[in-house]
Amino acid sequence: MSSRVLAAELSRHVGARVRVAGWVHRRRRLKSVTFVVLRDRSGFAQVVTSGAAPPEETVVEVRATVSANPRAPGGVELTSPVLETLSAPVSPPPFDLYRPVLPALPTILDHAPVALRHPLLRERFSLAAAAVRGFRSTLDALGFTETHTPKIVASATESGANVFGIDYFGRPAYLAQSPQFFKQALVGVFERVYEVGPVFRAEPHDTARHLAQYTSLDAELGFIEDHHDVMAVLREVLAGMAAETGGVTVPERIPEIHFAAALELVGADPREPDLAPAHERALSEWAVREHSSEFLFVTGYPMAKRPFYTHPDPARPGYSNSFDLLFRGLELVTGGQRLHRHEDYVAALGGDVSSYGDYLAAFAHGMPPHGGFAIGLERFLARLLGVANVREVTLFPRDLHRLSP
Amino acid sequence: MSSRVLAAELSRHVGARVRVAGWVHRRRRLKSVTFVVLRDRSGFAQVVTSGAAPPEETVVEVRATVSANPRAPGGVELTSPVLETLSAPVSPPPFDLYRPVLPALPTILDHAPVALRHPLLRERFSLAAAAVRGFRSTLDALGFTETHTPKIVASATESGANVFGIDYFGRPAYLAQSPQFFKQALVGVFERVYEVGPVFRAEPHDTARHLAQYTSLDAELGFIEDHHDVMAVLREVLAGMAAETGGVTVPERIPEIHFAAALELVGADPREPDLAPAHERALSEWAVREHSSEFLFVTGYPMAKRPFYTHPDPARPGYSNSFDLLFRGLELVTGGQRLHRHEDYVAALGGDVSSYGDYLAAFAHGMPPHGGFAIGLERFLARLLGVANVREVTLFPRDLHRLSP
């Protein structure tokens, strides 16, 4: 028998006898005929049969004739079919996968292995793959090297809180909250590195924005002047991601506002050390109104609210060479310039470097001025698609309550 | 000042004043001049100065004139330089990074953040990135979708042994040993999926082939006839990886030998359930001799030695539709056809499906015949480069003894 034809290719085979395969997406029995909508990875095909048809989610192989029918989806339908069942379901799906409206989120999450087959959900994760492809291809073209770093680490040194403990051959160890220390050390090796991988946060709160595991798109680059060089690379990365996903326009130059000016703009107390969610929303609206941009860089966050490795602003004491990128009202990316001199790390750590020995090793041997950023893939998708909860754009979410499926 | 020029681009700027930046790779003081070899991400540049030069691993910016010199590396050297130190080392590197011979492995691993700067080591990890690029681009072109699945799982169901336990918000959980169950469920969604990510094995033995974390290149595809369709995709993937890395030729058709014939060929007891390392070496030598191939598929391993989800060979009781791929004397890839019918899983698990509920959910709702494979990235590189220990091709290895750097 000839090789399998995908649903999306059928219009090129009008008049021919073909073999297709997929799932029975929907079965509609009328008086004299039954319509079977077949689903495969490329799309849908309508099969018209006068015989019996198996129930939804049955996996079938169909040998049939491709007939033109302007009223059928894609302009063709499959006639005179011979259906063979490859795999029969033992029970109906938890909800009708062919209905255009999704059920409530808990139903989706509880039944993810089947629910994800819904075309609306599947499409989200095709977009996730496209976004990551855009991230990588942009950085590959800019001379970055992809790396794979340890997810098991000896100490919880980056933030100290919200880490998962592991029994590592009888010794305590932790799941990495980010590849931060590794990507900085690797700037000393490759100058420009990126990593796409899981990061882990033992987030004890049940929020719409936090997961115990998410996919972090990390980049770090050396020989920068300051954080603006990092922001320029981030702009290229976002444009590369948007080129693959569609759904958003990244301006040639993303507008920028200093943290102090941002506080003033939203009418907040100038002594506030951070932006509240309402401030972020107001600033995003301002960027759309004043700069026609759905993205906004807020730069120069106070040193007090940034990690110890943040580079200060040499011109403005108390402020840092850091940034957040707001996208449609929420923080999407955090980044900035890092310290690069060994003595600056020793000072920043208050001289207590005992638990940072491995981290500081790279800085003891010459590190260029550098910086980087991390994009949360799920946050990007949630904002891009306008869904409220990051769980809606995570295949199998892990959180305070959910460890399966 | 003009923008930075990379070492590899200097020959296009002969006669011009340029700005370069990088590390002092080597400083050689002669009587009247000092040669500084500058290292950046693109290669090396020779700087000639009559003044002082900083020690190795100092990060410098150099403004200098590009002069043709046929005896210099790359045909050019930098003259009349003005050196500015961006970052000074606080101590010399643990070994001379400019010497062409590497120190012993423990020295490299203990000092990885600096040791990886050695050109021979850096090159290995550029090859790792190239291999992964080849893996992805091949599968993207074949209609596969990239996925990101949980690394924290509720039960240690796949093998039961050698799993790392986690304290998950006070509940027991485990680090995933592979994305096996997830990628199978996702065949129900996308038909063809792949994942590049960390997998975790609490390997209690100190061997040259095993790591506690490694990078697994996983693929899985539906609507196959049997394992030979999986092997055909794997052949394309290997060719795509080799096209990016060089160093090996993948034949148009990788030779194949059945497990039973392989035992006979190497003169082993026909009741042996598995191949010994000496057998694998002998078989690889045979494939080179008889088929001029450094790759060899061994197919049809006994069901008794394969995981419960392995599809049996319908024509040959006791044997399976599985394969290993041998590469230069060692197993590089394991794969095969999986069970796809719900009742076959229930039978394979002996009716005890209580701890497999989430896994079996996908199979209860129609799954196509499918199969897949997993390539260990570090094993591939070790074989490709002819290094004996996978730690030599892992940035920051994790094993029984090593949890840092």
Strand order across the A145-146 sheet? A145-146, A192-200, A213-222, A370-376, A330-338, A322-327, A295-299, A256-258
Question: Taking 90 as the threshold, does the pLDDT of residue A307 lie above it?
Answer: yes
- For the residues of B344-377, what is the DSSP string, one character each? HHHHHTTT--GGGHHHHHHHTT---SEEEEEEEH
Q: What is the pLDDT of residue B357?
A: 82
Q: Are strands B330-338 and B370-376 parallel, antiparallel or unpaired?
A: antiparallel
Q: What is the pLDDT of residues B180-236, one digit of tens each?
A: 999 999 999 999 999 999 999 998 888 888 899 999 999 999 999 999 999 999 999
Q: What is the pLDDT of residue A352?
A: 79
Q: What is the pLDDT of residue B155?
A: 86
Contact B198 A171 (CB under 8 A): no
Question: Taking 80 as the threshold, does the pLDDT of residue A327 lie above it?
Answer: yes
How many C-beta neighbours within 10 Å does residue A181 have? 23
CA distance A370 to A225: 8
**Residue A94 to chain B, least CA–CA distance (Å):** 10
Over range A240-247, report the average pLDDT: 98
Using alpha carbons, select from B103, B42, B52, B51 the residue that is nearest to residue B73: B42
Q: List CB contacts (< 8 A) between B147 and chain A.
A: 125, 129, 395
Q: What is the pLDDT of residue B350?
A: 87
Question: Taking 70 as the threshold, does the pLDDT of residue B157 lie above it?
Answer: no
Q: What is the pLDDT of residue A350?
A: 87
B201 is in an annotated binding site: yes
Per the annotation, binding residues of A for L-aspartate are 158, 201, 334, 338
Contact A91 B125 (CB under 8 A): no
Q: What is the pLDDT of residue A93?
A: 96
B253 is in an annotated binding site: no
Contact A165 B168 (CB under 8 A): no
| Nearest-Cα residue of chain A relative to residue B171 | A403
Contact A369 B87 (CB under 8 A): yes
**Residue A110 to chain B, least CA–CA distance (Å):** 9
Over range B116-138, report the average pLDDT: 98
Least CB-CB distance to A366: which of B59, B125, B133? Answer: B59
Contact B4 A223 (CB under 8 A): yes
Residues A263 and A303 sit within 8 Å (Cβ to Cβ) = no
Q: Is B3 helix (H, G, I), strand (E, B) or coil?
A: coil
ipTM score for this prediction:
0.97
Q: What is the pLDDT of residues B46-73, one digit of tens each?
A: 999 999 999 999 999 999 999 999 999 8
Q: What is the pLDDT of residue A157?
A: 65
Question: Taking 70 as the threshold, does the pLDDT of residue B160 lie above it?
Answer: no
Q: What is the pLDDT of residue B1?
A: 52
Q: Is B220 helix (H, G, I), strand (E, B) or coil?
A: strand
Q: List CB contacts (< 8 A) between B118 and chain A.
A: none
Contact B396 A149 (CB under 8 A): yes
Buried b (16+ CB within 10 A) or exposed e, B86-103: bbbbeeebebebbeeeee
Q: What is the pLDDT of residues A346-382, one digit of tens each?
A: 999 987 788 788 889 899 999 999 999 999 999 999 9
% of chain A at pLDDT higher than 70: 99
Least CB-CB distance to B148: which of A186, A215, A405? Answer: A215
Least CB-CB distance to B164: which of A113, A168, A223? Answer: A168
CA distance B93 to B51: 23
Over range B86-98, report the average pLDDT: 96
For residue B158, what pLDDT band results from cuts at 50, 70 and 90? low
Domains of chain A by range and CATH? Answer: 7-87 (2.40.50.140), 119-393 (3.30.930.10)
**Residue A153 to chain B, least CA–CA distance (Å):** 6
% of chain B at pLDDT higher than 90: 91
CA distance B266 to B286: 9
Region at B291 (left for phi over 0; alpha for psi -120 to 50; beta for the rest): alpha
How many C-beta neighbours within 10 Å does residue A43 have? 16
B350 is in an annotated binding site: no
CA distance B206 to A299: 48
- For the residues of B247-259, what is the DSSP string, one character each? S----SS--EEEH
* CA distances to A95, A102, A103, A115 from A99, in Å: 9, 7, 9, 12
Q: What is the pLDDT of residue B159?
A: 61
Q: List CB contacts (< 8 A) between A364 and chain B.
A: 89-91, 114
Buried b (16+ CB within 10 A) or exposed e, B395-405: bbbbbbebbbb
> Average model confidence (pLDDT) for chain A?
95
Which positions ≥6 away from B96 have C-beta within 8 Å? Answer: B56
CA distance A211 to B151: 13
For residue A202, what pLDDT band results from cuts at 50, 70 and 90? very high
Question: Taking 80 as the threshold, does the pLDDT of residue B156 lie above it?
Answer: no
Contact A147 B168 (CB under 8 A): no
Contact A151 B151 (CB under 8 A): yes
Q: What is the pLDDT of residue B353?
A: 81
Q: What is the pLDDT of residues B7-45, one digit of tens each?
A: 999 999 999 999 999 999 999 999 999 999 999 999 999
Question: Taking 60 as the threshold, does the pLDDT of residue A1 lie above it?
Answer: no
Residues A287 and A293 sit within 8 Å (Cβ to Cβ) = yes
Q: What are phi and psi of A163, to 5 degrees?
A: -105, 150
| Nearest-Cα residue of chain B relative to residue A39 | B189
Least CB-CB distance to B403: which of A113, A167, A171? Answer: A171
Residues A310 and A339 sit within 8 Å (Cβ to Cβ) = yes
Residues B290 and B195 sit within 8 Å (Cβ to Cβ) = no
Residues A39 and A114 sit within 8 Å (Cβ to Cβ) = no
Buried b (16+ CB within 10 A) or exposed e, B154-166: bbbbbeeeebbeb
> Average model confidence (pLDDT) for chain B?
95
Identify which has the larger pLDDT, A216 or B350. A216
Give the tokens for residue B94: 């643990």
Which residue do the tokens 């991230």 mark?
A135
CA distance A352 to B110: 21
Q: What is the pLDDT of residues A67-93, one digit of tens each?
A: 999 999 889 999 999 999 999 999 999
DSSP tag of B60: E
Angle between the N-to-C axes of helices A180-190 and B119-141, in degrees from 0 to 180, rounded to the nearest 10 = 110
Contact A117 B341 (CB under 8 A): no
